[in-house]
Amino acid sequence: MARLSHSTVRTVRFYEETGVLQPAHRSEGGHRLFPHAELDKLVLVTDMRAAGLSLDEIKAVLLLKEGAPTGKAASSRALSALRQHVEDMSSRIEALSRLRDELAKAAQFLEHCGACENDAHFPDQCGNCRVMEDRARVPRAVRVLWAVDAPAAGGEDDQASDDDALP
């Protein structure tokens, strides 16, 4: 079960304890034996966990058919719940894509630094480099990773401009 679902033995046991998987039958020696259908379920659960759903949400999905009086009622409940999850996942995909693109742009931007010979500026004065000149074109990730907005510590009136502000 564990291998076939790309999860771990501990996870399988945990899912059985918490009721995600049906309590397995046991062999003479105490080994758990699961029906084939439970493997399909386990793989689906593993995928949903990887997608960021909590076990409670997943349990709710697995119980969508339960408790409804008719097939009609069950399917309509399941349908709207599934569509809600599809929407949520689409937002997550969008957010992930935005971050990925930002990191890709950051990497691309840092190519400018591949030819850097400006070792006087390097550790602390990168913010004063001509590469970082046009602040609006520096990706956020580069501003953060390269500490471009860190106090420059080079002027004369430095003391006064050290503006903490956010509680």
Residues contributing to the site for DNA (CB under 7 A): 2, 8-11, 13-15, 27-32, 49, 54-56, 167
Q: Does 16 bind a copy of itself (CB under 8 A)?
A: no
Contact criterion met (CB below 8 Å) for 81 and 64: yes
Q: Does 54 bind a copy of itself (CB under 8 A)?
A: no
Contact criterion met (CB below 8 Å) for 78 and 99: no
Q: Does 71 bind a copy of itself (CB under 8 A)?
A: yes
152 binds, among DNA, a copy of itself, none (CB under 5 to 8 A by kind): none
Q: Does 111 bind a copy of itself (CB under 8 A)?
A: yes
SS3 of residue 36 by DSSP: helix
Q: Which is nearer to DNA, 43 or 110 (CB)?
A: 43
Residue found by looking up tokens 């390097």 in the block: 122
Q: Which is nearer to DNA, 10 or 130 (CB)?
A: 10
Q: How many Å apart are CA 147 and CA 117, to the nearest integer? A: 19
Residue 52: DSSP 8-state: T
135 binds, among DNA, a copy of itself, none (CB under 5 to 8 A by kind): none
60 binds, among DNA, a copy of itself, none (CB under 5 to 8 A by kind): none
Q: How many Å apart are CA 76 and CA 66, to the nearest integer? A: 12
CB of 119 to DNA, least distance (A): 35
8 binds, among a copy of itself, DNA, none (CB under 5 to 8 A by kind): DNA
113 binds, among DNA, a copy of itself, none (CB under 5 to 8 A by kind): a copy of itself
Q: How many Å apart are CA 15 and CA 142, to the nearest integer? A: 42
For the purposes of burial, counting CB atoms within 10 Å of the CB of 33, is it exposed (0-12), middle (13-18) or buried (19 or more)? exposed
Q: Does 79 bind a copy of itself (CB under 8 A)?
A: yes
Instruction: Take residue 87 and report the two structure tokens written for it.
Output: 């929407």
